[in-house]
């Protein structure tokens, strides 16, 4: 039987990827960030996952406004790295797990979560940056990855409670998969940030601390946050944190906090990293 062995919440700021790709991760601006994320890499390496279900959002690369799926699941064997306007990131291609992905599609839809199915799609920094942060600079990603893309670009994104329930359904589907696989779930994006308007640069450390604590001890409380509360208190793009709740839903009731790291700024954003283990 497949089982979920860990959950990772991780910001996906493109500048983090650029720092690694351009070799500036050792400069004074970035040193504290990469030093702070090292223990998560060590933790994940020890966990030895076979597959990751990576919940993220695309940023006008694989998808545009032409069609906007709320939830989209990638069933391909390979996902090329997207060219986001300055060439693809120099990271390994992402290998999927089509059998588990199709199992998820089938089970989630029959469990009333109507997934859009992607047989081909490129993946952008929303997916590759959390991989880089938690796996480092590698020639080959150490596990297969199933991309699960959530719309947070066109308002309204799915609610926090809906994402949390999706996570619970992912857990049920994973546990129903006959092969013995160790699965980790990523929830990416956040934390507080605003990229637009006169309020650009908004960061709310108090909100982020509350959210990190809630992720560990009281996710039900977090599912009650309204979209307007996210946008007002964590910045218009802080609403991405609904994707963290999808990961949290997949971990079950009680969790152990294996690692936490919080850092401001990474470009315009407050970055958070949280490693959880189901108990």
Partner 1 sequence: MQPLPAGGFSLEIETISAIIELAAQYRGTLSTLPNREDFMAAPRDYEDIPGTYVYDAERGRVGYHLNMFCMSLNDPENRKAFKANEATYLDRFPLTPEQKQAVLKRDWLGMLKVGGNIYYTIKIAFCDGLTFQDVAGMMCSMPKEEYGKMMLAGGRVPTPQNLSKANSPVEKK
Question: Which of 12, 97, 103, 193 is flagged as catalytic?
Answer: 193
List binders of partner 1 among 212-251 (CB under 8 A): 227-228, 231-233, 236
Any contact of residue 209 with partner 1 (CB under 8 A)?
no
List binders of partner 1 among 17-46 (CB under 8 A): none
- Catalytic status, residue 125: yes
Any contact of residue 69 with partner 1 (CB under 8 A)?
no
Any contact of residue 67 with partner 1 (CB under 8 A)?
no
The count of C-alpha atoms lying within 13 angstroms of the C-alpha of 207, restricted to the half-sphere facing its C-beta, is 20
The binder of partner 1 chosen from 78, 195, 224, 256 (CB under 8 A): 195
11, 187 Cβ separation under 8 angstroms: no
Nearer to partner 1, 103 or 193 (CB): 193
**Minimum CB–partner distance for residue 29 and partner 1 (Å):** 8
Q: Which helix (H) or strand (E) holds 170?
A: helix 160-175
Q: At what angle do helices 227-234 and 205-217 cross, to 10 degrees?
A: 130
Q: What number of chain residues touch partner 1 (CB under 8 A)? A: 43
- Catalytic status, residue 12: no
**Minimum CB–partner distance for residue 19 and partner 1 (Å):** 13
Nearer to partner 1, 119 or 154 (CB): 154
User: Segment contacting partner 1 (CB under 8 A): 88-96, 179-187, 246-254, 261-269?
Assistant: 261-269
Output the CA–CA distances (angstroms, integers) from residue 198 to 59, 74, 195, 234, in the order listed. 21, 36, 9, 15
The binder of partner 1 chosen from 38, 64, 217, 220 (CB under 8 A): 64
User: Segment contacting partner 1 (CB under 8 A): 105-113, 139-147, 162-170, 260-268?
Assistant: 260-268
List binders of partner 1 among 155-184 (CB under 8 A): 155-156
Any contact of residue 119 with partner 1 (CB under 8 A)?
no
Nearer to partner 1, 134 or 236 (CB): 236
In this structure, the dihedral spanned by the alpha carbons of residues 135, 139, 145 and 149, taken in order and rounded to 10 degrees, is 80
80, 88 Cβ separation under 8 angstroms: yes
Please tell me the distance from the alpha carbon of residue 134 to that of residue 45, in angstroms, as a whole number: 9
Q: Is the peptide bond before 191 cis (omega within 30 degrees of 0)?
A: yes
Six-digit token string for 24? 């500036």
Any contact of residue 198 with partner 1 (CB under 8 A)?
yes
Please tell me the distance from the alpha carbon of residue 49 to that of residue 124, in angstroms, as a whole number: 22
Q: Tokens 């992720």 label which residue?
A: 215
The binder of partner 1 chosen from 32, 93, 201, 256 (CB under 8 A): 201
CB atoms closer than 10 angstroms to residue 257: 14
Please tell me the distance from the alpha carbon of residue 5 to that of residue 181, in angstroms, as a whole number: 9
Which residues make Cβ contacts (< 8 Å) with residue 211, sequence separation at least 6?
A: 190, 191, 222, 234, 241, 244, 272
Which residues have a catalytic role annotated? 125, 193
Task: Kindly list the residues in this chain that would bind partner 1 in the complex (CB under 8 A).
Answer: 14-15, 59-61, 64-66, 83-86, 153-156, 192-207, 227-228, 231-233, 236, 264-265, 267-268, 270
């Amino acid at each position: 039987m497949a089982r979920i062995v860990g959950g990772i919440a991780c910001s996906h700021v493109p500048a983090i990827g650029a720092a690694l790709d351009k070799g500036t991760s050792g400069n004074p601006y970035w040193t504290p960030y990469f030093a702070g994320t090292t223990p998560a890499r060590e933790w994940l390496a020890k966990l030895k996952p076979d597959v990751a279900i990576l919940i993220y959002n695309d940023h006008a690369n694989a998808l545009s406004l032409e069609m906007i799926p709320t939830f989209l699941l990638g069933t391909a064997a390979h996902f090329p790295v997207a060219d986001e306007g300055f060439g693809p990131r120099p990271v390994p291609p992402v290998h999927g797990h089509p059998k588990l992905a199709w199992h998820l599609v089938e089970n989630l839809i029959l469990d009333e979560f109507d997934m859009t199915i992607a047989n081909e799609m490129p993946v952008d920094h929303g997916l590759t940056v959390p991989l880089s942060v938690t796996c480092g600079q590698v020639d080959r990603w150490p596990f297969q990855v199933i991309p699960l893309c959530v719309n947070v670009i066109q308002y309204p994104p799915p609610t926090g409670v809906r994402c949390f329930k999706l996570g619970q359904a992912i857990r049920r589907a994973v546990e129903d998969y006959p092969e013995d696989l160790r699965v980790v779930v990523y929830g990416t994006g956040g934390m507080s940030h605003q990229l637009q308007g006169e309020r650009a640069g908004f960061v709310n450390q108090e909100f982020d601390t509350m959210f990190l604590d809630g992720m560990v001890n009281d996710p039900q409380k977090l599912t009650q946050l309204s979209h307007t509360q996210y946008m007002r208190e964590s910045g218009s793009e802080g609403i991405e944190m609904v994707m963290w709740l999808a990961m949290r839903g997949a971990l079950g009731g009680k969790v152990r906090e294996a690692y936490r790291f919080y850092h401001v700024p990474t470009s315009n954003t407050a970055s958070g990293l949280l490693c959880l283990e189901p108990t």
